[in-house]
Chain A
Amino acid sequence: MLITSATIYPEELKKNLIDRGAGAYVSFEGWIRDQNDGQEVLRLEYEVYEPVAVAEGKKVIAGAMQKFPLLHVNCVHRSGLLEIGDCAVWVGVTSAHRDEAFSACRYIIDQVKVRLPIWKKEHYVAGHSDWVNCERCATHDHQHPQASVS
């Protein structure tokens, strides 16, 4: 698990997951898009509380390794100012077969989004900016998992 203010290069990260026993490699890239909730987005800013984000991210990865028969896993999340089209988060997994690779990749990104202390502020073309809440908070009454103690 890595938090970085530098550009994410998925093809470079993928190299560390290569394994002769791997029959499947699945990755997820989250990109910055140019609109959200009807507003044109200019750029996006991530605030990360790194000590807890890294610790919690490692727990997510450890949980995935326990839950699925994986060979290698990694996750990198950006901090700081990002432009439209930039990669904000990358998850990569390798395993013997595709089923567990797809499932694990989905599990990790879903957990990362709701457990790690990361916040994003959208800067809009119109000139204002706003902190973005978790997508599900806006539409559903739900509880977030209390990650490390569950």
Chain B
Amino acid sequence: MKKNITVRYFAGFREHAGVSEEEVSLAVSNAGDVFERLKHRHGSEEPLGHCKVAVNDEMADWDAVVNDGDTVLLFPPVAGG
């Protein structure tokens, strides 16, 4: 069953997608699925383990369940400091 998800892109992901946020309808079960299914949007060739994800503003694991109505934040490799 497809879920309606709000996806937010940051830094290089946003520049590749051309938008900072979009609504998508995807048949996915977890955050990792969202990342994989939207590769054509964020354009990342990084291993999943180099990137990070938050669901509804909470940092999450890639196997975190994504529910209908959730907001998934896709973070490229971070580089603070």
A interface, CB within 8 angstroms of B = 30, 46-47, 49, 51-52, 55-56, 77, 88-89, 109, 112-121, 131-135, 137, 141-144, 146-149
Q: Quick check: B57 and A118 within 8 Å, CB to CB?
A: no
**Most chain B CB neighbours (cut-off 10 Å) among A52, A55, A109:** A52
Q: CA A49 – CA B11 in complex, angstroms?
A: 10
Interface size class of B (residues with CB under 8 A): 20 to 34
B12 interface residue, CB < 8 Å from A? yes
B interface, CB within 8 angstroms of A = 10-12, 46-47, 49-50, 52, 54, 57-62, 64, 73, 75-81
* Contacts A47-B10, A118-B80; A52 near B50 (Cβ below 8 A): no
Q: Quick check: A56 and B10 within 8 Å, CB to CB?
A: no
Name which residue of chain B comes closest to A118, CB basis.
B80
**19 pairs from A and B in contact (CB 8 Å cutoff):** A49-B73, A51-B57, A52-B73, A56-B59, A112-B81, A113-B79, A115-B59, A116-B78, A117-B10, A118-B81, A119-B11, A119-B12, A120-B79, A120-B80, A131-B11, A131-B79, A144-B52, A146-B61, A146-B62
Partner of A146, one of B11, B59, B77: B59
Q: Which residues of A contact B57 (CB under 8 A)?
A: 51-52, 55
Q: CA A115 – CA B79 in complex, angstroms?
A: 9
